[in-house]
A and B are shown apart, each in its own frame.
Chain A
Amino acid sequence: AQSVTQLGSHVSVSEGALVLLRCNYSSSVPPYLFWYVQYPNQGLQLLLKYTTGATLVKGINGFEAEFKKSETSFHLTKPSAHMSDAAEYFCAVSSTRNFGNEKLTFGTGTRLTIIP
């Protein structure tokens, strides 16, 4: 069984400040991990993914995440927040690399607000 926990349903940061969104997972097999972003009235968009290899993963819009097996974490960061980053962010886990055709287990989401 797999599960994802996102700490903090709401996070507010000032424009230009560091963004840190937390995600912890539970998986009985090596996980494949993802972050998605959802803007109002739009579908989920893939930000980045970890499958194998380098544990620091870079994604779109300046976001990155680091897979830490010992901490079962996959936190999302961005050095400098921009107003356009305001959205809902979802962490997800899959048990196979063929995640396009495999069940994704999602966290409850974190709403990111940027303070001007």
Chain B
Amino acid sequence: GAVVSQHPSWVICKSGTSVKIECRSLDFQATTMFWYRQFPKQSLMLMATSNEGSKATYEQGVEKDKFLINHASLTLSTLTVTSAHPEDSSFYICSAFSQAGGDEQYFGPGTRLTVT
């Protein structure tokens, strides 16, 4: 099956700094990538949808200036958490979709962000 990777898998940063999370589709080209956020014992919540070469579409309540998404190529999307605060600590999961790969989203393993 299709493989999606995320890097880093775990990151700690200080409050006020920015951190970038990468999502890569390793063996297919992803026309669309999704970013989810998961709090402990809660659902995965969609943050934004990004299509290669265009601006991301953010879900209601998600600050686009705080969570910067760049989908610069068909195999890479990045999520940058700017001026991170402790309340941004969470598990961030990406998924990738390609029509050629079948009608399924393929999920990455997630990135655990802790802001101190």
Contact = CB atoms under 8 A, between A and B. Distances in A.
Interface in A79-112: 90, 97-101, 103-109
B75 interface: no
Interface in B7-31: 9, 31
Interface string B70-103: 0000000000000000000000010101110011
Given A43-B106, A43-B107, A101-B32, A108 B43 contact: yes
A43 B109 contact: yes
B44 interface: yes
B109 A99 contact: no
A108 B43 CA distance: 4
Contacts, number: 58
Contact of B99 (A43, A45, A99, A100): A100
B4 A43 contact: yes
A88 to B, nearest CB: 10
A44 B43 contact: no
Given A43-B4, A43-B109, A108 B42 contact: yes
A90 B44 contact: yes
Interface in A55-77: none
A1 to B, nearest CB: 12
Interface of A: 4, 9, 36, 38, 41-46, 90, 97-101, 103-109
Given A43-B4, A43-B109, 8 more contacts: A4-B43, A9-B41, A41-B9, A41-B109, A100-B99, A100-B102, A104-B105, A108-B42
